[in-house]
Amino acid sequence: MRENIAGRANVADTPELERYYADLAKLEAGALWTVANNIEPWQPKPSSVPMLWRYADLKPYVQRASALVTPEDAGRRVVMLVNPGRREISAACGLLYTGIQIMEPGECASSHRHMASALRFIMEGSGAYTVVDGERIELGARDFVLTPNGTWHEHGVDAAGTQCIWQDGLDIPLVNALDTNLFQVHKDLRQTVSKPADSAHGTYGGGFLLPTDARKNWTHPYSPLLKYPFDATYEALRRADKAGVNSPFDGVLLEYVNPLTGGPVMPTIGAAMQMLRPGEATKAHRHTGSIVYQCAKGSGHSMIDGVRYDWTERDIFVVPSWSVHSHANGSDRDDACLFQFNDLPAIRALGLYAEQGVPVATG
């Protein structure tokens, strides 16, 4: 793609140049100026497109997976959400993967670990649990849980529970893009629960209180607090709202943090919950980084690059990097909550974060 602008590639093809390009290709080489304007865009040009997946459309197929395959045969019984611009790398947006996993009462997926970092956001059901490095964690609807890279983990539902469905979020495409992925199956297929129930929460979940040696004892780069329950999250949002916490672009937006550092929950993936107050419509902005949202409460819509996406509880939608976006609560009486996970910790750590407020109508 030629551009008639000083400093940009602008070379016309000639028969001689075409022969030259063909000769270079035989040597697995090429002339930079034939691609420079594409590989160095003026602004981020995501391959991903904005997408919304309605839970009502997906749920019957998620449930069918449960009738069609066992968790043993499937490894993980998941319907993944695939961005049309990212099919070849199984990404939902940018270099983030997401999927919807279903588990029946009494079922349990085999224990494994991988280089990819993972999280779950529980959509429906009761009796779900996950075991992470020997700690059993009970999960209810809208709870958020980490299975950081390198940790042994398995998920299941108690025999006395109900069918459970949750969203998985992972950085598989990122880890693969960096050629660093690996996967191991636990030799016993199940872990022995070796830690007291709720031990991470008991140790690190005191809010403004931490054991004095907590920082010294915790050597991993991810949050020791594996579970972030919804009740406490929602209460924190309400308190923050009363205290005047507010972003013109996001309403009340709180990041789930590592209590030892105040930083993101994992080195590559961050997560947050935001509350849009009754009647609230945010201003539009854009920034680098890919975001995967799930509506956790209420309903409303988002404008993404000028297109309106209406969402209600459990719908999942994505905002690609640098896409102009704003959010609006659909109710004048109730608040609406959006859960999100994103690649912002990786983006920031690499010095790639940029943002821009955009003065456009929010629709």
Residues of this chain that interact with ligand GTQ (CB under 6 A) are: 76, 78, 99, 101, 114, 118, 168, 170
The residue number whose beta carbon is nearest to ligand GTQ equals 168
Residue 149: CB minimum distance to ligand GTQ, A? 10
Residue 226: CB minimum distance to ligand GTQ, A? 14
Residue 28: CB minimum distance to ligand GTQ, A? 34
Report the alpha-carbon distance of residue 171 to residue 119 in Å, rounded.
10
Task: Report which of 39, 46, 48, 44 is spatially closest to residue 85, judged by C-alpha positions.
Answer: 48
Task: Report which of 220, 211, 208, 232 is spatially closest to residue 132, judged by C-alpha positions.
Answer: 220
Q: Is 310 helix (H, G, I), strand (E, B) or coil?
A: strand
- Give whichever of 265 and 304 is closer to ligand GTQ, judged by the CB atom: 265
Place of tokens 């930079």: 32
**Contact between 169 and 266 (Cβ < 8 Å):** no
**Contact between 335 and 278 (Cβ < 8 Å):** yes
Residue 279: CB minimum distance to ligand GTQ, A? 36
- Give whichever of 170 and 344 is closer to ligand GTQ, judged by the CB atom: 170
- Give whichever of 13 and 72 is closer to ligand GTQ, judged by the CB atom: 72
Report the alpha-carbon distance of residue 65 to residue 78 in Å, rounded.
8
With 0-12 / 13-18 / 19 or more C-beta atoms within 10 angstroms meaning exposed / middle / buried, residue 271 is buried
- Give whichever of 35 and 193 is closer to ligand GTQ, judged by the CB atom: 193
Total residue length of the chain: 363
- Give whichever of 101 and 258 is closer to ligand GTQ, judged by the CB atom: 101
- Give whichever of 138 and 310 is closer to ligand GTQ, judged by the CB atom: 138
Report the alpha-carbon distance of residue 162 to residue 144 in Å, rounded.
18
Report the alpha-carbon distance of residue 25 to residue 237 in Å, rounded.
57
Reading the block at residue 187, the tokens are 């030799």
> Strand 164-170 vs strand 118-124: parallel, antiparallel, or unpaired?
antiparallel
Residue 101: CB minimum distance to ligand GTQ, A? 6
- Give whichever of 54 and 76 is closer to ligand GTQ, judged by the CB atom: 76
Residue 157: CB minimum distance to ligand GTQ, A? 14
Residue 181: CB minimum distance to ligand GTQ, A? 10
